[in-house]
Structure 1
Amino acid sequence: MAKISVPFAVRSPLLAALPIAALSMSSAAWAQIKIGVDLSTTGPAASIGASSKNAVLLWPKEIAGIKVEYILLDDASDPGNAVRNARKLIAEEKIDVLVGPNTTPNALALLDVAAETGTPMVTLAASASIVEPMDAKRAWVFKMPQNDTHMTTILTQHMADSGVRTAAFIGFADAYGESWWREFSKLAEMRKIRIVANERYARTDTSVTGQILKIISAHPDAVLIAASATPAVLPQKTLLERGYKGPIYQTHGIASLEFLKVGGRDVENTLFPTGPAVVAKQLPLANPVRNTALDFTRRYEAAYGADSMTQFAADAWGAYLLIANAVPQALKSAQPGSRQFRAALRTALENTHKLIVPQGVINMSATDHVGLDQRSRVMGKIQGNKFTYSYGG
């Protein structure tokens, strides 16, 4: 594939490169930072990838006075494609940092690639298993979304405060579902919430009737669906079709407009933990990230319309802010395009402190490559086919 030297190019394994903007580049080859982006803009996770891509297209074309070229590839929601994309971006495009993927299986598939090539990766996927336990491979990986622990803490608190004493669980049969099961089962026990059913399904399944019948027969006070994007609608729709009347909880992985569109009335009154950016307009005035979240919300809605903000767009904007904050420090040690610059950038990312992004306040360390605390989540509720603020923060 011919290389297109523009400040922003979208490239796909299946399509020819499409320039987004054609601005003049510096004549000094080294005075350019190259950021590779791997997203699932097609396949089961397309609704997540679409929001992330929208935010990426708003990234400024310079960082610290140096022009930036962004190269975006679609992995079609497939881990194998994600690996091929990452290797292409690193070997052929000579990127300085990789942003993405935005699904847990794809991110896990890139741990070896990042470490082997010494390329820092800022993932938009959610599972804590991507950055924990810290080891030589994960030392190159940083994660924008909140850990499941952050979200499960406020979710189980809401359950307990609402009088839920028994709960059923149904989640993806992959790393995302397993990570949520570990955290939910642990915190539910601490809150004295008894789990009466534990079911799984695949992202591509078209029926979960068997699993839902088992859940309903257990008579839970509430049900948690640990899934993301539009595939998270299926269990909820089936629960309602089978007559379930109790509260239904989802994870922060649902905060996309496609989820609302596909779910329609079936997802009304859904309870879910979310990053503060999703409900920025309704946050309390004292919330520490409110101004930053509102600033990005206005920028995003100016480009994509009212009430278009999502968890995934905010995470992608946070990735830009994180990298932009680290670049000046890395430039003191080496020039872009070199292995030394990538190593310096990794170190600078790891030493990020008190950085406010739309989803929280980041304080990284050698053992914590997320850096978020309890200021990074609130409880939300779907009302009037919109994501609304409930409490927290």
Structure 2
Amino acid sequence: MEIKKIGFVAALTSCVGLAHAEIKIGVVTSSTGPVAMVGIPQKNTVSLLPKTIAGEKVTYISLDDGSDPTASVKAINKLIKENNVDAIIGPSGSPNASAAIGIIAKAQVPLLAPVGTSSIIVPMSEQKKWVFKTTQNDELIATALVEDMVKRKIKTLAFIGTADPYGENWSKVITNLATKNGIKITQKESFQRQDTSLTGQALKLISGKPQAILIAAPGGSAVTPQVALYDRGYRGQVYQTHGAALDQFLKMGGKKVENTILAASLMLVINEMPNTHPSKALALKYMNSYKKSFGEYPATFGANVYDAGLLLEKAIPVALKKSKPGSVQFRQELRTALEKTKELAATQGVYSMTPTDHSGFDKRGRVMITVKNGQWKLLK
């Protein structure tokens, strides 16, 4: 009889432990290396993510990939095989996220990628259905830029982008939109993120005498080509993608990035936004919490990780109703719940996911911004 009682207690204890299983979220960021300007605010933001969701403890396991796609793959493998994570936030770079797609699809682990390129989710496929992108798709940003070009009667445009998935996808997107709107692409150039001199590319771009030039590069790498163009005498209109949306861009570029135009999230011009914007209050909460912890306001790239936390906070309770953390079923249910996200206000816009749209932003996820007197300002 005593043996049966012990067995019953052990079984009961096991059930209780199962009912309160720990949720594990892996995070991979590039807090060192060439992409550190993007990765540092993302790594810091992990401390601001929810510690409990639906009454369950959430543990974040954060790793640095040094901006190296190969290291990203190793880190993600470690999180999956050794830590048995239920989802992964990261990596910071587009090449890094692209390299991870096959791994997370095979393991059936949802990946919330805070990267720029939409090529990680477009076109949708069996592998890409495990990826959710927490930034605006290139097409959403590019459409706003081209609309501005049309208003300014720009007919010729040159392009320079990073020689990786970020720049390559932007090249495709802008060529398509420019052609549809009667804008001729005069020249295309590419460069490596770590390049420090782009004199050759700048001279080639200028030789075509374009009215405007679009630079597609993330973080600090967005500054180098613009400085090269300015130093070689180019004074036409320069456009940037949301990859340049950080205050270091202003500090590094100085007067040489004055009058730049880009489309990005409202965080850069938060004080100019109306209180009725669905993201303003959330963005301010995040920005103030970050400053309290780290002594400065975050780059918008950190918000991409914060929004991943908001998406998980919405989806995890749904998955918990049908499965337990640590299981394949839980990860499957979590993926399904993420895909059904509707009208979730976050720091950069409003998410509404579908089976074919794993970014989910609409026009509320972008504003037109320019640089005036060394400051970000709403473009009016």
Number of the residue aligned with 1:261: 251
**Separation (CA, whole Å) in 2 of partners of 1:191 and 1:388:** 26
> How far off is 1:64 after superposition?
1.4
Q: 1:89 pairs with 59, 65, 79, which one?
A: 79
Q: TM (normalized to structure 2)?
A: 0.92
Q: 1:366 pairs with 355, 371, 375, which one?
A: 355
> How far off is 1:192 after superposition?
2.0
Amino acid of the structure 2 residue aligned with 1:333: K
Q: In structure 2, the residue corresponding to 1:369 is in which secondary structure?
A: coil
Which stretch shifts more, 283-292 or 207-216?
Answer: 283-292
**Separation (CA, whole Å) in 1 of partners of 2:49 and 2:79:** 19
Amino acid of the structure 2 residue aligned with 1:163: K
Q: 2:124 pairs with 125, 134, 147, which one?
A: 134
**Separation (CA, whole Å) in 1 of partners of 2:123 and 2:244:** 26
Q: 1:119 pairs with 94, 106, 109, which one?
A: 109
> How far off is 1:290 after superposition?
2.4
> For the Cα contact (< 8 Å) 1:98–1:119, is it kept in 2?
yes
Q: TM (normalized to structure 1)?
A: 0.89
> How far off is 1:289 after superposition?
2.3
Percent of pairs with identical residues: 44
Amino acid of the structure 2 residue aligned with 1:359: Q
| Larger helix percent | 2
> How far off is 1:30 after superposition?
4.9
Give every structure 1 segment of 4 or more consecutive aligned residues whose post-TM-superposition deviation is greater than 6 Å. Answer: 26-29
Q: In structure 1, the residue corresponding to 2:379 is in which secondary structure?
A: strand
Amino acid of the structure 2 residue aligned with 1:205: D
Q: Tell me if 1:291 matches 2:298.
A: no
> How far off is 1:206 after superposition?
2.1
Number of the residue aligned with 2:10: none
Amino acid of the structure 1 residue aligned with 2:75: N
Q: In structure 2, the residue corresponding to 1:52 is in which secondary structure?
A: helix
Q: In structure 2, the residue corresponding to 1:47 is in which secondary structure?
A: helix
Number of the residue aligned with 1:313: 302
> How far off is 1:305 after superposition?
4.1
- Structure index of larger Rg: 2
> How far off is 1:229 after superposition?
0.9
CA deviation vs aligned residue, 1:352-375 (integer Å, no higher than 9, x gap): 111111111111111111111121
CA deviation vs aligned residue, 1:297-336 (integer Å, no higher than 9, x gap): 3323333445x23221111111000000001000001111
> How far off is 1:76 after superposition?
0.9
> How far off is 1:29 after superposition?
8.9
> For the Cα contact (< 8 Å) 1:326–1:345, is it kept in 2?
yes
What 5-or-longer segments of structure 2 have no aligned partner? Answer: 1-15
> How far off is 1:88 after superposition?
0.2
**Separation (CA, whole Å) in 1 of partners of 2:288 and 2:152:** 34
Q: Over aligned residue pairs, what C-alpha RMSD do you find?
A: 1.7
Q: Tell me if 1:322 matches 2:311.
A: yes
Q: In structure 1, the residue corresponding to 2:235 is in which secondary structure?
A: coil
**Separation (CA, whole Å) in 1 of partners of 2:276 and 2:19:** 45
Amino acid of the structure 1 residue aligned with 2:29: L
Q: Tell me if 1:389 matches 2:375.
A: no
**Separation (CA, whole Å) in 2 of partners of 1:27 and 1:81:** 34
Q: 1:159 pairs with 130, 137, 149, which one?
A: 149
**Separation (CA, whole Å) in 2 of partners of 1:274 and 1:208:** 25
**Separation (CA, whole Å) in 2 of partners of 1:208 and 1:224:** 15
